Structure 1
Amino acid sequence: MITILCVDDEPDMEMLVTQQFRKQIRNKEYEFIFACHGQDALEKLAAYSEIKIVLSDINMPEMDGLTFLSKLKELNLTDLKTIMVSAYSDMDNIRTAMNRGAFDFITKPINFDDMDITIKKTLSEIEVYTNFQHDRDKLIAIEKDLAIAYEIQQSMLPKKENPFPDRQEFSLHGLLQPAKSVGGDLYDYMLLSDNRLFFLIGDVSDKGVPAALFMAITRTLFKTHFTNYPNADLTEQIIRINNILSRDNPSFMFVTVFACILDITTGMVEYVDCGHEQPLILRKATGDIEIVKKKDGGLPICLVEEFPYFSSTFQLNPGDTLVLYTDGLEDARDANDVRFTIEPSKQLLKSALINEEPAKINTQLLLNVNSYIGQANQFDDITLLTLKYNGQ
């Protein structure tokens, strides 16, 4: 049962809410607790630790909703979500409320069907965050056991050479070689629909066990969000994930990410660049290597809450190959501490790998950089995710 605190100074609100949600109350889906202003609400929160959602009016006596929001932020109740209620004409205050940490809002006069939908959406976000906390606590508990941590990390990454054998329009392959027993790189992919393929690559700012734990949390969040919301906007999802990670990051780690959705029918790729390395496109028609141009403002995830990420696009033509990689590929060092750079990989792609499948491309690129490293210690995790677009 979910406990909801309703904060409103209108005397009829308790009767209206109780009447409108009588079925959910009777079925013990919802329990409502009522407060008449912000100070009363703070006292109710102190008395009822099980409260998960707050529905709060903005204009109230003694302590208004905006002041109440500020007090909530000071309490740092990370698992509590607040939905603000105000007149549609009160958009300035609603905007202020969202900036102060409100999760969502509804307008007066209240449409109770809309309120129910908003509550359910909020509960879904709470469930995601609860799963995130559970996964985090579980992984921290096994931090000292590197063997188990490695097995967990590797089991989370897709490893099939051809994960979508029935799809002739494209093929893809990913691999990860950690610098230590476990690493902070990640990649993933999934079909969102028959015509939309999601894929991403990422790199946590640290190495070893701490980075592996953060990598697992990050990948879990991406997997959960894009599974639960397959039709959601790519930028909206990135912003939501960034906000969750930014709120609970005592180690001040961050993740560079390059996340994409391929329109399988047209070859158009929508992407959000979160401070990651520039992918390479091997153009089949010309044999040239094209570098995906950087856009301004692509900060890594987990640096700034509410950062306004945006998406861009590029076109893949039939036969083109897209290579995503982490900086471990170009920053690899030999025994003399000389940096590998990305140029040898570009030359290998152009000279020997233009007609090859993604698994072969990744294997050869990794062999090439490992040969360069030789007996030196691997400087950083190396991850490759390669997609070949064949068209319809």
Structure 2
Amino acid sequence: MSPVNTGVVHWRQSLRTRIALWSALINIVLLLALAVATAWFARRVIFADARRDTIASAQEAADRLDASLRAVAITTRGVSDLVANSDLDPQELTTTLRAMVLATPGCAGGLIVLEPDGTRTTPYARYISASGPARDRDFVADGYDYRRQGWFQRTLSAPDGWWSEPYRNETAGGIWMVTYNRPLRPRGKGVTTRGMVSLDLPLAELTGNFESLAHLPGWRVSLVAPAGTLATNPDVSVAANLTLEQFIRRSGRSDLLPTADAARLRQPLQLVHTDTLTGETRFTVVEPVGQTGWSLLVAQAYPLIIERLNQALTLLLGVGALLALVCTLLVRHLAKRISRPVEDITAAAASLANGRYDLPVPSQKRRDEVGLLARTLEHARSSIRQHLDAIEEMSAARQKIESELAIAREIQLAMLPAARVIDQDDRHLEVAALLEPAKAVGGDFYSFIEGSEGLLWFAIGDVSDKGVPAALFMARTVTVLEVAARTGGTPSQVLAEASRRLVDGNDTCMFATVLFGQVDLRHGDIVLASAGHDAPLLLHADGRHELVPMESGPPLGFEVSGEFPTWRGRLPAGATLLAYTDGVTEAFDPQQVAFGLERLRAILGAELTAQAQCEHVIAQVHQFAHPAAQSDDITVLAMRLRQDAKETGPC
């Protein structure tokens, strides 16, 4: 096989052999001086490097532990909120719990306890095992008095979820477990706790996050539970059920007292100490595991570090002595012959650095390292040219995408209805709206649909995303609303029909909040219905303003619903109805302060037309948020009723 394929050069043709003949005797002194200086410097820095390695390893292991614990907590919180705020029957509760257990990595089982209330006459208390239904347990059917158990009472009174100490679960086959418990408490103030949800996690799932670290020579790893119990320790088993402070007192390890204080206070700690039993010096790191209450202790022994240092110094001195011996064989008469091709390669590299990729690299036919380097550099030159061509193609493709998105933005904005004035006898309804997407295209929308006999349908909404997916779902939502409105009925009926149609084929689980209404210009009557959207503001002619006191149904797209409460009122002459999306109230300035509803109320002007009102609101939002980038679509819709003054005839 040729040297081109193997990358190996025969020693008689090797550039290494030729360069060795170039050195002079002075290099011997330089090598010895370098060896001595390196030995002195390495001894100072290697301890610092070892400490940094211990700290980084502890933080990395703590991050992995935190991710595992947070995954369980997030899953439990989601199921807790679902069960606490809904009325699921026992079969649905069992199905939900089993799905939660199977979806949580490493989970051994889960428990839901739901006490009787106004709608439920019998308690539900079932444990679901990840091993299958054969290991499930119905506490009610078994007559197990769970209400007298300490973990149940603590969970009912707990403000949030909490982790248990390690315990041996005989039902699961004598496995050591930890459990995350969370109360079932509906949203709102003054509510009664309905029960609890918990997930069991084998202790081995936690220790697996740092098992490889614990087996390193000279390393010791301990895991401390929220109440101080040693979940794992190289000197004591979890079965001993000892806290860290109890272990320190019983073993006489007073050097570990600062670590116990740090674990109890959930504070990080870096400690150099001497083992009171063995006399061994160690560097110990205490790392809190996120906000879970757990703490991780990682220690590295100094004797091992010193041993590695001595090995490195011995190797360095040996290599230095060998190099000094080799340097005695240096010969300088081949300098010009060897340096010439290197200079040619350097010139070629300089040409590449200056952006000249059309000149081939010289010396490619040589069979030594220079030839190998020349061929490698030539390959790099060819690759750079290919990459530059690819960058040009990518730039052109990006410009095309940006152009298509700009066209899509224009098309989306063109789909929205223009401002208008609808006249009915002496009444004139100004209708206007403005939409500014956060990206090229967005998910906010509004619509005006004129009906017969002075009726006007209007809608404003916000899709649960931004960009192209939100724009497509927005177009579908607007179409469904317009079709439903033209078939007649109340705003509540229109939203119910839209709810039914938008659920079909919504595999991406997108949803939209919508405020839908109808205005009767003949009398100024307004009928409103909301699908999870913010209530509008009513601005009177004298400057008074109020939030329309209306209830809301669920957003469109999640599930079919017919419950959309209707609000009926009247738009007085000179008054303005202002609707908006959350891009207005949730616009943030550089200090992450939201624009808010109160600031929106303060900037409204009763004398402004509907169009001017929309422009004024959006201008104020941008002025408030500047220079922070727009984070959400902004949409404002205004309707203002004007009435001509009645002419008074001659007496």
TM-score, normalised via structure 2 length: 0.36
Deviations 1:18-39 (A, max 9, x none): xxxxxxxxxxxxxxxxxxxxxx
2: distance between equivalents of 1:251 and 1:144? 27
Task: Kindly report which structure 2 residues correspond to 1:58-207, keeping only aligned pairs within 5 A, or say none.
Answer: 145-160=404-419, 162-164=420-422, 168-207=427-466
CA contact (8 A) 1:265 1:391 kept: no
User: SS at 2:481's partner residue?
Assistant: helix
CA contact (8 A) 2:433 2:614 kept: yes
1:325 and 2:580 matched: yes
Q: Which residue does 2:515 correspond to in 1?
A: 258
Q: 1:342 to 1:310 in 2, by over 3 A?
A: closer
2: distance between equivalents of 1:219 and 1:374? 31
Deviations 1:209-250 (A, max 9, x none): 1111111111111222323x1x33332221111111012111
Counterpart amino acid of residue 411 in structure 2: I
Q: 1:144 to 1:254 in 2, by over 3 A?
A: farther
2: distance between equivalents of 1:261 and 1:173? 15
User: SS at 2:543's partner residue?
Assistant: coil
Q: 1:233 to 1:279 in 2, by over 3 A?
A: closer
2: distance between equivalents of 1:275 and 1:245? 15
User: SS at 2:412's partner residue?
Assistant: helix
Among candidates 368, 380, 384, match of residue 636 of structure 2: 384
2: distance between equivalents of 1:166 and 1:278? 27
CA shift at 1:375, angstroms? 1.7
1:289 and 2:545 matched: yes
2: distance between equivalents of 1:385 and 1:277? 13
Counterpart amino acid of residue 597 in structure 2: I
Larger radius of gyration: 2
CA shift at 1:378, angstroms? 0.5
Among candidates 213, 216, 222, match of residue 472 of structure 2: 213
CA contact (8 A) 1:266 1:391 kept: no
CA shift at 1:159, angstroms? 2.6
Structure 1: tracts of 5 or more residues without a match = 1-141
Q: Which residue does 2:554 correspond to in 1?
A: 299
1: distance between equivalents of 2:622 and 2:630? 8
Q: 1:327 to 1:212 in 2, by over 3 A?
A: same
CA contact (8 A) 2:526 2:570 kept: yes
1:236 and 2:488 matched: no
2: distance between equivalents of 1:241 and 1:260? 14
User: SS at 2:477's partner residue?
Assistant: helix
Give the number of aligned pairs: 243
Structure 2: tracts of 5 or more residues without a match = 1-400, 645-651
CA shift at 1:288, angstroms? 1.1
Q: 1:148 to 1:281 in 2, by over 3 A?
A: same
CA shift at 1:143, angstroms? 12
2: distance between equivalents of 1:199 and 1:302? 19
TM-score, normalised via structure 1 length: 0.59
User: SS at 1:253's partner residue?
Assistant: coil
Deviations 1:251-304 (A, max 9, x none): 1111101100011112111111111112101111x4211101131x51111122
CA shift at 1:148, angstroms? 3.1
1:334 and 2:572 matched: no
CA contact (8 A) 1:175 1:362 kept: yes
1:314 and 2:569 matched: yes
1: distance between equivalents of 2:601 and 2:561? 36
Among candidates 495, 499, 505, match of residue 248 of structure 1: 505
Q: 1:152 to 1:305 in 2, by over 3 A?
A: same
Deviations 1:76-121 (A, max 9, x none): xxxxxxxxxxxxxxxxxxxxxxxxxxxxxxxxxxxxxxxxxxxxxx
2: distance between equivalents of 1:157 and 1:268? 25
Among candidates 340, 345, 354, match of residue 606 of structure 2: 354
CA shift at 1:155, angstroms? 1.4
User: SS at 1:269's partner residue?
Assistant: strand
Deviations 1:295-323 (A, max 9, x none): 1x511111221442232212211111100
Deviations 1:338-380 (A, max 9, x none): 111122221111xxx2111011111111111101111211121
1: distance between equivalents of 2:568 and 2:618? 28
Counterpart amino acid of residue 242 in structure 1: S
2: distance between equivalents of 1:153 and 1:224? 19
Of all paired residues, the percent bearing the same amino acid is 34
Q: Greater CA deviation, 369-378 or 304-313? A: 304-313
1:270 and 2:527 matched: yes
1:369 and 2:625 matched: no
CA shift at 1:166, angstroms? 7.7
Q: Which residue does 2:74 correspond to in 1?
A: none
2: distance between equivalents of 1:148 and 1:249? 26
CA contact (8 A) 2:533 2:555 kept: yes
CA contact (8 A) 2:493 2:562 kept: no
Q: 1:163 to 1:182 in 2, by over 3 A?
A: farther
User: SS at 2:502's partner residue?
Assistant: helix
CA shift at 1:169, angstroms? 2.4
CA contact (8 A) 1:280 1:291 kept: yes
